[in-house]
Amino acid sequence: MTTVLAVANQKGGVAKTTTVASLGAALVGLGQKVLVVDLDPQGCLTFSLGHNPDRLDASVHEVLTGDLAAQEAVIDTEDGVALLPATIDLAGAEALLLMRPGREFALKRALAPLLDDYDTIIIDCPPSLGVLTLNGLTAAQSVLVPLQCETLAHRGVGQLLRTVTEVQQITNPDLVLLGALPTLYDARTTHSRDVLSDVSDRYNLPVLAPPIPRTVRFAEATASGATVLAGRKNKGAQAYRDLAENLAKHWAGSELATFSPGSA
């Protein structure tokens, strides 16, 4: 059975795209067949996996508007994940979709023929709660919320959780909120931990293990067109490998390992 995971937070810069690419590559490392979907018109996921959005003929835009089958737009990457790429055209998809019936279901419908081809599909949502993110949440079985552990990280979390609840009520009753994933985590200070326990208490949100440490390797990787997993051994790559194992075990039936900010 294919697992479809959405990675969402309307705040930019919280490591959504990094998480989709690195987790995808880590799941490939576990022997899975993985498809990642770029739902951000900026095309950062596409770019970070080594493809220039400006040079692509086909993208998720034509797929969402129904002009192209998803498999026609999927391309390979060096990390071994298959990619449904985005180009700036996607910025216009929002307006086009708004005029259509069932606009939240365009991605779900497009991915349906691919479900047998992959073990896991991971969707990189854009930094907004608009129709593209609603498509991501409607197509997914579960959602993961990357949370940068800094002051004001909680701003917007309430709104995101309300959106998840509305999606559960209206377009996707089976959607499971897995929890928050701490990103850009600095274990040396108590600040990251304080922020995390505040947010998880305030919203009663499980915190997934392990937290992803802040390391300069991520910026280097983005520039290289491959994920941190492709480079030298580093703690960021290891954290995503551990997260991949945690999720893979969970999808095979075990309990999700969580991180308790108070005691670490």
Minimal distance, residue 246 CB to ligand ADP, in Å: 17
Q: Which amino acid is located at 120 in the chain? A: T
Residues 221, 226, 231, 233: is their CA dihedral positive or negative? positive
Q: Which is nearer to ligand ADP, 103 or 181 (CB)?
A: 181
Q: What is the DSSP string of 93-128?
A: HHHHHHTSTTGGGHHHHHHGGGGGG-SEEEEE--SS
Which of ligand ADP, Mg ion, none does 61 bind, CB closer than 5 to 8 A by kind? none
Minimal distance, residue 226 CB to ligand ADP, in Å: 13
Q: Which is nearer to ligand ADP, 69 or 161 (CB)?
A: 161
In 3D space, the residue among 62, 47, 58, 67 whose CA is nearest the CA of residue 225 turns out to be 47
Write out the residues near ligand ADP by the rule CB under 6 A: 12-18, 44, 127, 183-184, 212, 214-215, 218-219, 222, 236
In degrees, rounded to 5, the angle at the alpha carbon of residue 185 between the alpha carbons of residues 181 and 187 is 125
Binding mask 44-83 for Mg ion (x = CB under 5 A): x---------------------------------------
Minimal distance, residue 108 CB to ligand ADP, in Å: 22
* Residues from 6 through 45 that contact Mg ion (CB under 5 A): 16-17, 44
Query: b/e for 138-155, b at 16 or more Cβ within 10 A?
Result: bbbbbbbbbbbbeeebee
Helices 16-29 and 235-251, packing angle to 10 deg? 70
Q: Which is nearer to Mg ion, 3 or 10 (CB)?
A: 10
Binding site for Mg ion (CB under 5 A): 16-17, 44
